[in-house]
């Protein structure tokens, strides 16, 4: 009972002290908590043309794979980095109908290695190309 009475007597002081500490914590969080934006884009344009029905199935599979990679497998990368850091990953199909991936912007090596390991575990292959961000326009 004594502790409760002391708490009641000091409640206004404790409340103000808590507000001050909470505002300092919010200020601290504003300054020091950063995050990375992770984006996975499904590229539906390929070097080959599958049949129409097969193309619909492949596009849906690629859309789901992109969403899963972004929202599940690479989710914890959002908790690291600076606010200005972005990770952009393209996924597409190769001519053998395997999903391929590539990181299209500059990121730290450990982030790129994590993406490589994650995509490798999912059975995706690295998308090797001589040029970066070059896609065929409408023909």
Average pLDDT (15-29) is 44
Q: Which helix (H) or strand (E) holds 38?
A: strand 37-42
When pLDDT is cut at 50, 70 and 90, the band that residue 22 belongs to is: very low
| pLDDT of res. 133 | 53
Q: For 64-111, how does the pLDDT look when each residue is reduced to its tens digit (9 = 90+)?
A: 999 999 999 999 888 876 666 899 999 999 888 899 999 999 888 999
pLDDT for position 41: 94
Give the Cα separation of 29 and 44 in Å (integer).
40
Classify burial at 123, counting beta carbons within 10 Å of its beta carbon; exposed 0-12, middle 13-18, buried 19 or more.
Answer: exposed
In the structure, what pLDDT confidence band is assigned to residue 115 with cuts at 50, 70 and 90?
very high
What pLDDT score was predicted for residue 132?
53
Position 130 confidence tier, pLDDT thresholds 50, 70, 90: low
Domain range list for the chain: 2-32, 37-126
Query: What's the rounded Cα separation, in Å, for the pair 86 and 6?
Result: 51
3-state secondary structure of 74: coil
Question: Cβ(75)–Cβ(121) under 8 Å?
Answer: no
């Amino acid at each position: 009972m004594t502790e409760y009475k002391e708490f009641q007597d000091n409640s206004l002081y404790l409340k103000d002290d808590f507000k001050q500490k909470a505002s300092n914590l919010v200020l601290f969080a504003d300054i020091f908590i950063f995050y990375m934006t992770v984006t996975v884009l499904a590229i539906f344009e390929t070097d080959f043309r599958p049949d129409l029905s097969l193309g619909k199935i492949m596009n849906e599979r690629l859309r789901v794979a992109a969403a899963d990679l972004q929202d599940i497998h690479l989710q914890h990368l959002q908790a690291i980095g600076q606010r200005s850091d972005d990770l952009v990953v393209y996924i597409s199909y190769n001519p053998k109908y395997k999903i391929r991936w590539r990181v299209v912007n500059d990121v730290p090596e450990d982030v790129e290695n994590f993406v490589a390991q994650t995509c490798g575990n999912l059975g995706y292959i690295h998308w090797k190309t001589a040029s970066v961000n070059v896609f065929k326009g409408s023909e």
